[in-house]
Amino acid sequence: MGLLVEGTWTTAGYDTGKGGGRFEREPTRFRNWITPDGSAGPTGEGGFAAEAGRYHLYIARACPWAHRTAIFRAIKGLDEMIGLSVTHWLMGDEGWTFEPAEGVVPDDVNGVRRVFELYKLADPAVSGRASVPVLWDKQRRTIVSNESADIIRMFNDAFDGVGARRGDYYPQDLRAEIDGYNARIYDTLNNGVYKAGFAGSQDAYEEAIVPLFDTLDWLEMHLSDRRYLCGDRLTEADWRLFTTLLRFDPVYHGHFKCNLRRLIDYPALWAYTRALYQEPGIRETVDFGHIKKHYYLSHPWLDPTGIVPAGPDIDFEAPL
């Protein structure tokens, strides 16, 4: 797994011993923003103007956080404006790499073999995890952002003036509602599956699993009489939720011990997830081979046999 310590790569894993076995996610390091005119965004410095061809996105198909950014690149029609590189599914001692494999798209911008090299190019003394996604500025040769929540908001509207597809997934009149959904879903579900899966004690696991399924139960009721979280309008809150739901039965239910119920045991949530999967352009952002092999083979302390399960056999293309 590994991390950078003042620019030097180490193979340290997650340390859950400090917090009674609780998994604590590290904060992201790069928080600049692309804006229509290059002015500073909510965080970071200015100088990152929306221009076609200037930026490049690095993702892993397995990673739900990176998946969000791939979805927004697709739904906003940014494929021709923002380049894309896709890592290997295995996150081993060198972290994410671009070792040749099916579905890997190598780095044709900086020519790096490992994602942590991008972090060192941006800051030779950087410390922390070399996570994906990474949004790279080819002009300034640095990382704009490695925070997926920020990147999807940049993709949502920063490029509208230079030819992005129409569609606002964070509309002004729904922002308070969207932020409320995001806050609960992130803490208990998006990150909750990791709190359960990487728990280093029974107490930490039980602290995570109860609110996780409370949130799934609440979502089932909430979506039983509406199409999307905010009613009839598809927003960023739906896409942030989707990338976790998509992975729930294939990996989180078994590998992360989130096994009180399956996604397919929730009729409304299951239909909702299939509907989002079947939206134009979304299937192409999904690679279940990368997803399953990553989780079951990148965490040997959770699955020491290295066996990738054949199932579950579920059909995201099933009619709605």
Same domain, residue pair 46 and 142: yes
Q: Give 220-263 pLDDT, tens digit per residue.
A: 999 999 999 999 999 999 999 999 999 999 999 999 999 999 99
The answer to whether residues 11 and 2 touch, using CB atoms and an 8 Å cutoff, is: yes
Same domain, residue pair 155 and 15: yes
pLDDT recorded at residue 25: 66
pLDDT category at 21 given cuts 50, 70, 90 is: confident
Pairing of strands 82-86, 55-59: parallel
Residues labelled as active-site residues: 63, 194
- In a domain, residue 41? The reply is yes
- In a domain, residue 154? The reply is yes
Number of independent structural domains in the chain: 2
Q: What percent of the chain has pLDDT over 90?
A: 93
- In a domain, residue 63? The reply is yes
- In a domain, residue 294? The reply is no
The CATH number covering residue 244 comes to 1.20.1050.10
- In a domain, residue 267? The reply is yes
pLDDT recorded at residue 200: 94
Rg (CA), the chain: 19
As a whole number of angstroms, the distance between CA 47 and CA 78 comes to 20
H or E, element range at 298: helix 288-298
Same domain, residue pair 191 and 264: yes
How wide is the angle at C-alpha 134 spanned by C-alphas 234 and 179, nearest 5°?
Answer: 35
Q: Give 181-215 pLDDT, tens digit per residue.
A: 999 999 999 999 999 999 999 999 999 999 999 99
Structure tokens given for 313: 């056999």
Domain of residue 89: give its range: 3-162
The CATH number covering residue 17 comes to 3.40.30.10
- In a domain, residue 14? The reply is yes
- In a domain, residue 291? The reply is no
Same domain, residue pair 7 and 89: yes
Same domain, residue pair 9 and 146: yes
As a whole number of angstroms, the distance between CA 130 and CA 2 comes to 8
Q: What is the pTM of this model?
A: 0.96
Structure tokens given for 69: 């950014």
Q: Give 260-300 pLDDT, tens digit per residue.
A: 999 999 999 999 999 999 999 999 999 999 999 999 999 99
- In a domain, residue 287? The reply is no
Same domain, residue pair 45 and 91: yes
Same domain, residue pair 44 and 80: yes
Structure tokens given for 234: 């598809």
Provide long-range contacts, Cβ within 8 A and 24+ apart, for 92-101.
Answer: 92/1, 92/298, 93/1, 93/2, 93/11, 94/2, 94/9, 95/1, 95/2, 95/9, 95/129, 95/130, 96/60, 96/130, 96/132
Same domain, residue pair 121 and 256: no
